[in-house]
Amino acid sequence: MITYEEFLSIINDDLRVGTNFDPTQSYRRRDNKDDEKPRAAIGETWTTGGEQGGSCWDTGDDDPHYPVEAEPEPKLEDLTKVLEHICPSMSFLCFKRMSDKLIREADGFGSSEYYGNYTTASAKYIYMDELYEFLKAEDILPETRPPKPEDKDDE
C-alpha cells in the first residue's frame, strides 16, 4: 500500500493539485515554530454575499450600497481528480460516506473595508491525512504508485 508521503507526492507532483488550502485564506501565526507545518488540505472558497458602493465621497444618494452577488458553490473538482486517479473503483456509497464524514465547511468569514463595504465567503475543504486514513481503512488505496497521468498539453 502506498505511504502517506507517496499519497501527497502523487497529489502535489503527479496531479499538480496543491494541498496548501487554508479555509479562511488567512496566514496562520507560526509563533516561531519553524518545525510545525500546517495540515495538508485541498478545498475551495466562494463569495456568498456582501455590499459594495460606499465611498468617501458623499454623493447625496440615499443608499449608495449595492449587494455583492453570491458565486455558485464549488464542486471540489480537485478532490474528484485525486479520487479518480488514486482509487478509480471507489463506489458511490463509499464516496458518500467519505463526503459526509470528511468534507468540512466554514462560513461567515470574509473581508471588511472602509465605508461599509464588505464581502462574506464560505469554504469546503478536506484534510489529506484524514482522506488517506479513510481510504486506508476502506482498503482502496493502491498497492503501488499509479502511473502519472499524461499531460493534456502534450497532445
For 77, the grid coordinates are 473538482
Contact criterion met (CB below 8 Å) for 51 and 110: no
pLDDT of residue 27: 38
Q: Grid cell 502506498 — which residue?
A: 2
Gap between the Cα atoms of 70 and 102, Å rounded? 25
Assigned domain for 35 exists: no
If you count them, how many residues does the chain have? 155
Please give the tally of structural domains in the chain. 1
What pTM was estimated for this model as a whole?
Answer: 0.77
Report if residue 82 sits inside a domain. yes
Query: What's the chain's average pLDDT?
Result: 83
In a domain, 80, yes or no: yes
Share of residues in the chain with pLDDT > 90 (%): 46
Which residue, among 81, 87, 75, has the nearest Cα to 17 in the 3D structure?
A: 81
Q: Residue 25 has what pLDDT?
A: 57
Question: Which of 81 and 69 is assigned the larger pLDDT?
Answer: 81
Identify whether 113 is part of a domain: yes
| Rounded Cα distance, 145 and 131, in Å | 17
